[in-house]
Structure 1
Amino acid sequence: MTLAHDTTGKLVLYQAEEEARYVREGLWESPTIAQHLHIAARTHGDRDALICGDVRLTFAELDRISDRRAAGLHRLGLEPGGAVLLQVHNTANTVIAWYALLKAGLVPVCTLPLHRGHEIGEIARQTRPVAHLVAARDPRFDLVGFAFQQAEEAGVERTVLVSDGPADDPRAVELDGLGDDIDDAEARGIVEVIQAGLGMQSLAVFQLSGGTTGVPKVIPCLQAPYWHYGASLARAMGWGPGDRVAFMMPIVHNAGIIIGLQGPHSVGATLVLGVPDASAALDLVVRNGATDVLLGPFAFELALDPGLAAATTLRRVLFSGKKVPSRYMAMLDARGIWGGQIFGMSEGLCLTTPLDFPLDARTASVGIPISPADEIRLYEPGTEQEVAPGEVGELCVRGPYTLHGYYDATEHNRRAFTADGFYRSGDLMAERTIAGVRCYTVEGRIKNMISRGGEKINTEEVELLLGSHDAIADAALVAMPDARLGERACAFVVTRDGSAIDLAEVRAHFDRLQVAKYKWPERLVVLPEMPRVSQVGKIDRRRLREIAETLRAEPR
């Protein structure tokens, strides 16, 4: 099979002995994600695979429709191996499109509808997409026009696909009906031929790093390892046929794919898909009889909602994105609902609190790794020296779904991995014993990163953007605590020659640069000079964080 473009030298694969070990131990199974869905459709055909609003699709229906879409994509001339930028919303058509792209041998690039030219231009430069799938309607932004503009500015031909509505621009291709004129057997045959040309370590998906320097690095997710990620989580959570997992965060995101799609679908469970709206969370859970729900920071309050008494089917609640106040866990426990935490990275490694953990351990920790082959070391930052038990160190990981290297980033990979292949996460953790069980606790980050409702903001990237304003001589960005989102971005600036600047002008500057809005500073503090650590001259970020802790975000 001929791939759309050559990835030789850009992908860092697992060694042959690693692949043999993971296959031998039953961790890596059928070669591709698309084949796993087809197996699930044969095993759980009449069970619901997806509930989204008024749309219900069984596994058999999802498999059949995504076969036809894949065959339609193939007929368009989109060759296997080609990358496809995704800027879509949480809808049933997005789930269909996800599996259709994989069945067509295409590589979804998991960007967000919020991303603009600053991010999409660089991500496209790295992944060289052959197509761009966007929502036909977005109340905030013309994504269709944006997709064509991006291709024109890059000087490339790129198929623009639209979903969830008609294409107003005649140049765009409507994905939602693509392939409907193709016979089921013919569509299945086309998919099988494409899948036969792929293997366990074929490139499946491009995710984005939550934060290295500059615009996010591209994470290549390979077929068997990426499926193992979701399947391991499903086993850790005890999911099975009949379970309904409610998910409200962006589905085209690592958490969405692992917790919402591949995790439940690996065991015949149902994805109940909602939108990122805390006010709709209770209705989503109650109306659809959810057994499980993932709560990001914006929706933690659901655990305290008296209306949760009506959620008679709810058995498990997973919290993600920030430390969980003990009262949330205690309230769930009083209602007979299990509460736990999850910590995961797009680069790999996921930890969650086991179902049999005591309440104190589930409240204070993120648990243990989900796969028996996950390896964790806690090193003194910047070294390869392990810390003593109970002490805080940098989380370094290796395992059957953790990447071996960012895409086409040889120099960066030399810094991001230890000599024996452990990924340096930049997160600080400690291994502790709580209520008699061994577990890991999150203690902070080495990297200067802000986690805003689960979305990561790289401070260096935003500081460079601030510094590009003519009036700003120096800039620093730090986290400002927020009860709802966990953290927001607070910018400290020193202006040139005492020039005046306010938050409105900074936001206008970021708008002109086409920067995603979630990265825009939400508080601006103008200083006469930047506080520095006298010994080395570096910005005293600890002092800035102390100031930011007393501030609140300004309204947009």
Structure 2
Amino acid sequence: MPLAPDTKLVRYPAGDEARYVRDGLWEPLTIAKHLHAIAREHGDRDALICGGTRLTFAELDRVTDRRAAGLHRLGLAPGGAVLLQVHNTANTVIAWYALLKAGLVPVCTLPLHRGHEISEIARQTRPVAHLVAARDPRFDLVRFAFQQAEAAGVGRTVLVSDGPADDPRAVELDGLGDDIDDAGARRIVEDIQAGLGMQSLAVFQLSGGTTGVPKVIPCLQAPYWHYGASLAKAMGWGPGDRIAFMMPIVHNAGIIIGLQGPHSVGATLVLGTPDASAALDLVVGNGATDVLLGPFAFDLALHPDLATATTLRRVLFSGKKVPRRTMDALAELGIWGGQIFGMSEGLCLTTPLDFPLEARAASVGVPISPADEIRLYEPGTEREVAPGEVGELCARGPYTLHGYYDAAEHNRRAFTADGFYRTGDLMAERTIGGVRCYTVEGRIKNMISRGGEKINTEEVELLLGSHDAVAEAALVPMPDARLGERACAFVVTRQGARIDLAEVRAHFERLEVAKYKWPERVVVLPEMPRVSQVGKIDRRRLRKLAETLGDEP
């Protein structure tokens, strides 16, 4: 069906759509239709293992049909956005596909997000519902969801998962639609999906952003499915493979690497929690063939008992450069080790299975889709650098966005004249071990990657500057062996004022800022170092200083 005009949503040009369909990259199925087709083909295979819960594809398809029908019966019309603040559970996976089947648009926020982030994300996406974990030992998400709706002055359905809520106004998602028979639920889902097309809005992901809170990334049906399917093909996954995933599942990496990628080929998601100490049990106890490791869990590759993981064939690393000894340790066990580099905006690179160890250890490989296009430009220009030189990574392709949601002014700066997305990452094209590949060389954007979560330095600096004691602030990465980077704040105080880490934490708590963004070191300087010619803060000197600091705050 023709798509209704939407001035906030930038879709792919008609010519690109026709080319991607002709080349077999995009298919005329929605994500929900893909799941149903896979369930018909691989119905008896495990789709999900999570703790004591095990669901086959047929079971997952049926239960998500019922939940979707229940959501529809609540009056949540297709096209409405739904904020997600949930954990890594089987019910979260069910909720994901149920929302898509109901034609609703999941907004991939984190349980760690607080009022500072959620209020702005909600302003941009105008959600009709907010799905939260019924129980969280750290924070009352149910109460928070109602507070956010009341503060915005809107009617918003609060859905809860993984337990009943104390507030009677909340709707329990986990049993929703159980009174609807399978055939009736399937008819409701099919009617909804018939109204969606290849470029219908499917998901809202969030960007690390360069200013303010995260910008909203619109993920469309065919491109977003192609993203996961391309990764599965690059990794050689197929029916019978079990992919262990322990990073947040409601996150671009979780959806692509953990959920839709494996499911696109009838493979199994083995879902755990972000707990490095449980990684070995997750892999060994569930017979995983593959595992993705974020920076907090890299040491699994060095665990003396990893040899007991007799089914494990591939380990994929993400989030920071991998120490060579880690790759060598896997090779000694006969386990393939590789790297992946991706972003919510699109482009993903990974090291092919046939790459030599030298290239897999030193690079992030090559793009996963045959239609991905990469250019490395001199920063701030559209002049390509020579092979081997470092340039800004710019990308275009069948799953890379053409524009942030409702951000026309920013989009003019974020893309080149011919539509390449400026990632802000620095890379070089090199030949290593006889193969062409790309190496990560840093970032242009002032960004900190803490255990895979991106912290926008300008956003935090503005928050620091809102404290009465702070005259000027700069945030830089501080190396961390476990997480890759942590945030170190350098501040200049107003005359006579004092501030320390405890007061910064109290300030950020008052502002309702997600804790992973809080500075973990505060250094008071008499004045900021400057780049003499232009008077800008000399961030390079601050980064070098942060590298010399000890563990004490």
TM over 0.5: yes
Per-residue deviation, 1:212: 2.1
Q: Give matches, 1:57-72, under 5 Å.
A: 57-72=55-70
Which residue is 1:167 aligned to?
A: 165
Q: Which whole-Å CA distance do the structure 2 matches of 1:478 and 1:196 have between them? A: 49
User: Secondary structure of the equivalent of 1:45?
Assistant: coil
Per-residue deviation, 1:532: 0.7
Taking a change above 3 Å as real, the CA distance of residues 7 and 91 of structure 1, as seen in their structure-2 partners, is farther
Which residue is 1:288 aligned to?
A: 286
Which residue is 2:124 aligned to?
A: 126
Q: Which whole-Å CA distance do the structure 2 matches of 1:537 and 1:341 have between them? A: 39
Range with greater deviation from structure 2 (494-503 or 50-59): 494-503
- The runs of at least 4 consecutive aligned structure 1 residues that moved more than 3 Å come to 552-555
The one of 507, 523, 532 aligned to 1:509: 507
Deviation track 1:427-463 (CA, whole Å, cap 9, x = no partner) reads 0000000000000000000000000000000000000
Which residue is 1:202 aligned to?
A: 200
Which residue is 1:236 aligned to?
A: 234
Task: Give the letter aligned to residue 252 of structure 2.
Answer: N
Q: Which whole-Å CA distance do the structure 2 matches of 1:488 and 1:311 have between them? A: 32
The one of 309, 316, 319 aligned to 1:318: 316
TM-score w.r.t. length of structure 1: 0.99
The one of 180, 183, 186 aligned to 1:185: 183
Task: Give the letter aligned to residue 427 of structure 2.
Answer: M
Matched, 1:473 2:471: yes
Which residue is 2:252 aligned to?
A: 254
Which residue is 1:427 aligned to?
A: 425
Task: Give the letter aligned to residue 25 of structure 1.
Answer: D
Taking a change above 3 Å as real, the CA distance of residues 112 and 553 of structure 1, as seen in their structure-2 partners, is farther
Q: Which whole-Å CA distance do the structure 2 matches of 1:435 and 1:309 have between them? A: 27
Which residue is 1:369 aligned to?
A: 367
How many pairs are equivalent? 553
Which residue is 2:460 aligned to?
A: 462
Which residue is 1:215 aligned to?
A: 213
Taking a change above 3 Å as real, the CA distance of residues 170 and 131 of structure 1, as seen in their structure-2 partners, is same
Structure 2 residue runs without a partner (length 5+): none
Deviation track 1:235-276 (CA, whole Å, cap 9, x = no partner) reads 000000000000000000000000000000000000000000
Q: Which whole-Å CA distance do the structure 2 matches of 1:345 and 1:533 have between them? A: 31
Range with greater deviation from structure 2 (545-554 or 74-83): 545-554
Q: Give matches, 1:29-428, under 5 Å.
A: 29-428=27-426
Contact 1:274–1:284 at 8 Å: present in 2 too? yes
Contact 2:105–2:202 at 8 Å: present in 1 too? yes
Contact 1:522–1:553 at 8 Å: present in 2 too? no
Per-residue deviation, 1:554: 4.7
TM-score w.r.t. length of structure 2: 0.99
Q: Which whole-Å CA distance do the structure 2 matches of 1:487 and 1:378 have between them? A: 25
Contact 1:66–1:100 at 8 Å: present in 2 too? yes
The one of 490, 494, 498 aligned to 2:488: 490
Q: Which whole-Å CA distance do the structure 2 matches of 1:554 and 1:50 have between them? A: 42
Task: Give the letter aligned to residue 111 of structure 1.
Answer: T
Q: Which whole-Å CA distance do the structure 1 matches of 2:352 and 2:387 have between them? A: 21
Contact 2:210–2:446 at 8 Å: present in 1 too? no
Structure 1 residue runs without a partner (length 5+): none
Task: Give the letter aligned to residue 523 of structure 1.
Answer: R
Deviation track 1:294-327 (CA, whole Å, cap 9, x = no partner) reads 0000000000001101100000000000000000
Q: Which whole-Å CA distance do the structure 1 matches of 2:257 and 2:234 have between them? A: 11
Per-residue deviation, 1:82: 0.1
Task: Give the letter aligned to residue 262 of structure 1.
Answer: Q
User: Secondary structure of the equivalent of 1:498?
Assistant: coil
Q: Which whole-Å CA distance do the structure 2 matches of 1:55 and 1:2 have between them? A: 41
Per-residue deviation, 1:31: 2.5
Q: Which whole-Å CA distance do the structure 1 matches of 2:402 and 2:345 have between them? A: 9
Q: Give matches, 1:5-44, under 5 Å.
A: 8-44=6-42
User: Secondary structure of the equivalent of 1:382?
Assistant: coil
Backbone CA RMSD of aligned residues: 1.1
Per-residue deviation, 1:2: 13
Task: Give the letter aligned to residue 382 of structure 1.
Answer: G
Contact 1:429–1:441 at 8 Å: present in 2 too? yes
Q: Which whole-Å CA distance do the structure 2 matches of 1:498 and 1:321 have between them? A: 41
The one of 436, 439, 451 aligned to 1:438: 436
Task: Give the letter aligned to residue 110 of structure 1.
Answer: C
